[in-house]
Amino acid sequence: MEQPTRQHQLLYGLNEKMPFTAGLFTAIQHILASIVGVITPPLIIGSTLGLNSYLPYLISMSLFASGLGTMVQAGHFMKVGAGMICLQGTSFAFLGVIISGGLAMKQQGALPEDILAMIFGSSLVAALIPIIVSRFIHLFAKILTPLVTGIVIVLIGISLVKVSITDWGGGATATDFGAPSHLVLGGITLAVIIALNCCKSPWLRLSSIVSGIVLGTAIAAWQGSFHPQLALNGPAITFPIPFRFGFAFSWSMFIPIALVALIAIIEAIGDLTANCMIAQQPLEGPEFTQRIKGGIIGDGVSCLIAATFNSFPNTTFAQNNGVIQMTQVASRYAGYWIGGLLLLLSFFPMFSHFLQQLPKPVLGGATLVMFGNVIAAGIRIMTREALDNRSMLIIAIAFGVGLGIETQPEIIRGLPVFLQSLLHGAVTSGGLVAILLNIVLPKAGLAPFKAKVLPVSHVE
């Protein structure tokens, strides 16, 4: 049994147990930062494929799988899980391949139940991929260097900040996007979080995100822009039913999902590395390798749980690294609190429905600082070693390709559908470029890149 040790600058270190109040507040802040990300993919998939009658159930099962997977990652039982706060949530990376495969089945006359059976069956088999790859994770050490993982983490953070800014402006579908009232509301939320994080009191810092969101929501209600509605239709309580829609398998559905699963491993390694750094754990050596290996296995097990209980593939969420950085709570026991609350929410659809209605500007202001912390963590990892000309070239091209495709996705429309699904985002396209260049570019004979500092007398 690992003995808890208090780590410098952390309110609760990795193996420190937490009292009730601290654990509850920490869990609430993690859930507020991720709840929209957990329930949005099933909403998009369900509405696109015409599965509206099953949407409440699919959302509840996403919360259920997220909670159970988060507890698996926190536990590190029999080397399964990273033993850290690794909140599991429905992955956006699989949206394209799942929707395209589902639409193809729908055009062939398949019933909604048959479509879901095929999606979950193919996802169940694809969940074995990260479990298998984890056995050879040590062979990836020369490929997934701090430079590569840092690039991936920065790209993840940039992609997330785009979501924050969109929410701050009122949401992608807002008719009054960018209205001053939205900007002020998000700004107040952000200001409260910053102010409380500058306080010396650990309790004020611990409650900063919740306090900012509560105050922002209260102001929105006072302005008349927040009108929460409880879901009165449908069952009040939802129970998980394994393989409710049956089990089916198709190579045409499986292969694209499997390819995305391979790419998702790269993103997960970046998230896990950032988590290790924030939790003040080693970033190299056997302990680091074992933790990454356990985290990848945990992702695979989480995807197995998700497919079994009628949810879409899961992954480790990056935004929670920002919450850890803000709260300075890295205790893995917080993962049990988070998982337990998510499981509780999964049984009561009305709660997730309420959280889904939180004002977008408030969420945008709250998540901006958290997602910005993800970028900062990536930069710290990326610059752990001196940057030579080779490193600068890799950074430049990886960011150029990744952010270029992110801003102009039409450039890859001529590629096959599964390649579009792999390369459509900055994380996957930029990450793949970074890995490729890190392999092919020679390392010898390149001097470290150092900024030239002029003498004081020459500075104007």
Structure tokens at 226: 């927040």
Number of domains in the chain: 1
Residue 264 lies in a domain: yes
Residue-level pLDDT at 308? 94
In angstroms, rounded to a whole number, what is the distance separating the alpha carbons of residues 37 and 34? 5
Residue-level pLDDT at 451? 46
* AA identity, residue 37: G
> What sign for the dihedral angle of Cα 8, 10, 14, 16?
positive
In angstroms, rounded to a whole number, what is the distance separating the alpha carbons of residues 77 and 84? 12
Residue-level pLDDT at 203? 67
Residue 240 lies in a domain: no
To the nearest 5 percent, what fractions of the chain are helix, strand and coil? 70, 5, 30
Contact 275, 321 (CB under 8 A): yes
Q: How close are the terminal C-alpha atoms of the chain, in Å?
A: 60
Residues counted in the chain? 460
Residue 453 lies in a domain: no
Residue 79 lies in a domain: yes
Residue 444 lies in a domain: no
Residue-level pLDDT at 296? 92
Q: Is 238 left (phi over 0), alpha (psi -120 to 50) or beta?
A: beta
Residue 431 lies in a domain: no
Domain span at residue 262? 20-141+245-365
Residue 405 lies in a domain: no
Residue-level pLDDT at 7? 47
pTM, entire model: 0.69
Residue 271 lies in a domain: yes
Low-confidence ranges of the chain (pLDDT < 70): 1-8, 96, 140-142, 202-203, 206, 230-234, 259, 352-353, 355-356, 417-418, 421-422, 424, 444-460
In angstroms, rounded to a whole number, what is the distance separating the alpha carbons of residues 382 and 438? 13
